[in-house]
């Protein structure tokens, strides 16, 4: 039978073993981390490491399956504008309005127009005839400044960053080029911090001690040191990161993580071509949407060609 000292020594050894096993498991987890199962960049992967596709084979051929009921594109609403396609010979003809004609075929183009709504809130003051006092209205709670963005803009920025995994710089580029709104990256950053604090409220233990919530601690730290974290917003000598080549390769890695793999070599090459053009356009100060539209219109995407239009 063991003495109390021996029992205490055994318990201490058992506790040490449990801690060492947990430490070994954590080290093995870190050792097995790569770009496919963590946020580590592809440049840190070991050479000749096999890449496994995240997609499981279904055994089916690509494309529509046998017996699949096809669908057609339906009009979401009635046409808002009717554009007649007249013969070229009718252009500039003095008798064009006197000719009899008919419609041979109709084709529809479905497009989207994004408009910006500006609401003006006027704080009114009235002299009440009953009480002979001045009554003043109040602004809504979300109107905290002379000019501020509404809840839809805030929700769109937060949703694009969190749900759609879009970077802050690309969200800024989207608002600037598509909506023509000069939304600052600081506004997006502050909105994300606020959302993180709301989703991770401070919790306390029974003894009144604050619990170590990693997500909340990160949000508080970003808020406390926002000037240092966001220094690249206003000091252009500080880059967003230190690897331009890494950012260019990252698109392909994100594509693989989302889709699992490219279905063909040709598709991978086309994806690389498109991203190469868009990356070059951004480096020349051309908005991505303008580069895509110019390409679809078979126009040149070089800066001086766009500037001359």
pLDDT given at position 270 = 82
- Segments making up each domain of the chain, as ranges: 135-240, 242-309
Distance CA 231, CA 238 (A): 7
Name the residue with higher pLDDT: 238 or 114.
114
Q: Is the pLDDT of residue 53 over 80?
A: no
Residue 139, pLDDT score: 92
- What does pLDDT average to over the chain? 80
Residue 123 pLDDT class (50, 70, 90 cuts): very high
Asked if 301 and 295 count as a contact pair (C-beta separation under 8 A), the reply is yes
Cα separation, 127 vs 236, in Å, equals 53
* 138 vs 63, residue with greater confidence: 138
First-last CA distance in the chain: 95
Helix (H, G, I), strand (E, B) or coil at 198: helix
Residues 243-246: contacts with CB under 8 Å, at least 24 apart: 243/41, 243/43, 246/41, 246/42, 246/43
The whole-angstrom separation of Cα 223 and Cα 211 is: 19
Residue tagged 């100060």 (tokens):
285
pLDDT (0 to 100) of residue 304 = 42
Per-residue confidence (pLDDT) for residue 294, from 0 to 100: 80
Strands (E), the chain: 125-127, 134-136
**Which pLDDT belongs to residue 237?**
73
At residue 290, the pLDDT reads 81
Contacts 24+ apart (CB under 8 A), 233-238: 233/184, 233/185, 233/186, 233/189
Residue 306, pLDDT > 50, answer no
Q: What is the mean pLDDT of residues 252-276?
A: 79
pLDDT per residue as tens digits for the range 202-220: 887 777 787 777 888 888 8
Query: Which residue is it, tokens 């000719």?
Result: 99
Q: Is the pLDDT of residue 300 over 80?
A: no
pLDDT of residue 121: 93
């Amino acid at each position: 039978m063991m003495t109390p000292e021996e029992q205490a020594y055994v318990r201490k050894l058992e506790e040490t073993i449990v801690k060492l096993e947990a430490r070994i498991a954590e080290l093995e987890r870190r050792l097995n981390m790569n770009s496919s199962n963590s946020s580590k960049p592809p440049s840190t992967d070991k050479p000749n490491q096999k890449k496994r596709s995240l997609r499981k084979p279904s055994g089916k051929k690509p494309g529509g399956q046998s017996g699949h009921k096809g669908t057609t594109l339906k009009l979401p609403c009635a046409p808002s504008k009717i554009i007649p396609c007249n013969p070229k010979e009718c252009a500039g003809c003095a008798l064009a309005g006197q000719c009899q004609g008919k419609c041979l075929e109709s084709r529809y183009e479905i497009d989207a127009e994004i408009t910006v709504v500006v609401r003006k809130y006027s704080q009114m003051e009235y002299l009440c005839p009953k009480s002979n006092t001045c009554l003043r209205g109040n602004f809504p709670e979300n109107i905290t400044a002379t000019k501020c963005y509404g809840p839809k803009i805030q929700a769109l920025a937060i949703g694009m960053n969190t749900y759609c995994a879009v970077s802050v710089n690309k969200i800024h580029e989207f608002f600037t080029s598509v909506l023509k709104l000069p939304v600052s990256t600081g506004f997006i950053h502050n909105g994300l911090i606020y959302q993180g604090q709301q989703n991770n409220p401070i919790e306390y233990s029974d003894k009144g001690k604050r619990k170590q919530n990693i997500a909340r601690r990160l949000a508080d730290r970003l808020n406390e040191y926002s000037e240092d974290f966001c220094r690249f917003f206003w000091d252009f000598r500080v880059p967003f990161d230190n690897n331009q080549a890494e950012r260019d390769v990252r698109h392909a890695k994100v594509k693989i993580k989302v889709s699992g793999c490219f279905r063909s070599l040709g598709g991978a090459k086309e994806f690389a071509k498109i991203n190469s053009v868009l990356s070059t356009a951004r480096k020349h100060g051309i908005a991505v949407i303008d580069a895509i539209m110019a390409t679809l219109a078979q126009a040149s995407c070089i800066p001086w060609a766009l500037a001359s239009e």
